[in-house]
Structure 1
Amino acid sequence: MAYVIGDACIACGSCAAECPVEAISAGDDKYVIDPDKCIECGSCANVCPVDAPKPE
């Protein structure tokens, strides 16, 4: 069960900077997580100021 980034994302990039496997990239209006790369570590959720990343 990979993490997904919800609509609350403010595109600050803190999640992408924290991801140890570089599974997060900038999308059109928010960041997105590649479910094939995500290792479900939760690092992104721990640093997000708006709690946008959630387990799928």
Structure 2
Amino acid sequence: MKVELEADKCVASGQCVVAAMDVFDQDDDGIAILLAEEVGDDQLDDVKEAIAVCPAAAIRLSRQ
């Protein structure tokens, strides 16, 4: 699955990092950074959690 992040929508809550630290990080201003655009089945639940807790709805999953 492909992870899409709209960084311009990010409100720097950091919830995505807490939910999926192997997929997301934050820059010096707290804005989310995507570490992995492609995720396997082992990371899918964490990314779905990040999507659910993102207050800005800035994260999406899509099929290739």
Task: Give the corresponding residue for 1:12.
Answer: 13
Q: Which residue of 1 aligns with 2:51?
A: 45
Give the percent of matched residue pairs that are identical in Structure 1 and Structure 2. Answer: 22
Unaligned runs of 5+ in 2: none
| Helix, strand or coil at the partner of 2:9 | coil
Q: Which residue of 1 aligns with 2:35?
A: 34
* Counterparts of 2:18 and 2:28, CA distance in 1: 18
Larger helix share, 1 or 2: 2
Against the structure 1 CA distance between its residues 36 and 50, is the aligned structure 2 distance closer, same or farther, given a 3 Å change threshold?
closer
Q: Render the CA deviation track for 1:8-28: whole Å, top value 9, x for unaligned.
A: 101110111011x52211125
Question: What is the TM-score with the length of structure 1 in the denominator?
Answer: 0.70
Question: Aligned-pair RMSD on alpha carbons?
Answer: 2.4
Structure with larger Rg? 2
Structure 2 counterpart of 1:46, one-letter code:
A
* TM-score, normalised via structure 2 length: 0.63
- 8 Å CA contact retained: 1:4, 1:32: no
CA shift at 1:35, angstroms? 2.0
